[in-house]
Structure 1
Amino acid sequence: MHGELCKESKDMQNFKEEVRSNMQNQDAAIQKLEAQIRYLCKQAPSHNPCSATKTNSREECKAITLWSGKELKETSKETQEREVDERLSDKEEARTHAPNPPEEKEILRSYIPKAPYPQRLMKNEKDNQFSRFLEVFKRLQINIPFVEALE
């Protein structure tokens, strides 16, 4: 029993040493990577991505040519805003000048909901058909001699 405990304690010590050496190796690798990243950051010129972009302003565009060859005239934002404002004001004026429809025509009909399960209403028709079938079946008479029925 004492031999087994000694063996287990040695195994534990070996495992601890292995874990410590792995941790030290990982720390050394991380430090090397950090040093490489610092070096690369110093080597790379400072680059601001916003400074490399050009503004493409509307004033630089003189003409727009479509695939069909038709050229569109240039309109500024101010004229487009004026046109939109004029259209909106025209619509508002049309709404205000429209006569109110007489309220007599606004008579609302009561809402009649549709049957949620129309198959359920079909039950009455089938019941009527079944009752007619039973009546016909009750009137049915078969005349067979008794001897033939036994055979």
Structure 2
Amino acid sequence: MKTRREEDMEIVWQTPANPPERHDYIFRNGVRYVRPYYFEFICHVKNRWAGKTIVDLFSDEFKGRPYDYYVSAVKSGRIQVDGEMVPVSYIVQPSQKISHFLHRHEPPVKAMEVSVLQKELDVLTVCKPASVPGWLHIEFRVSS
């Protein structure tokens, strides 16, 4: 049985082309939560990666996770090549598309408005809560 919090935190799908929308956030007691979501990291095989197994490529180039994680991710289909599941012994070729699917839970941040301090032609200066990441995505229109 789901708890109330799990019901509020329904999982959504996000990609760079499908960023979070207002309804993907939950505001509670002055804190903003992002609903857990699935995200597809995409890269293309560089020439220097060609000839490596898919698992060796990930363990050599993306050191944030142990070798066994990448073995499991390839076997389960969380890492795919050109949209297809491949064996852990698969040898990658230049320019192939590699997708790594992750289930993400972002830490909560203070639910404060981000205020614009100064707007110039090429620079937007904002004041944001310290808990909001520096890569905050802000949309604005420059009036002509």
TM-score, normalised by the number of residues in structure 1: 0.13
Q: Whose strand fraction is larger, Structure 1's or Structure 2's? A: 2
Which has the higher relative contact order, 1 or 2, with Cα contacts under 8 A spaced 6 or more apart? 2
Q: Whose helix fraction is larger, Structure 1's or Structure 2's? A: 1
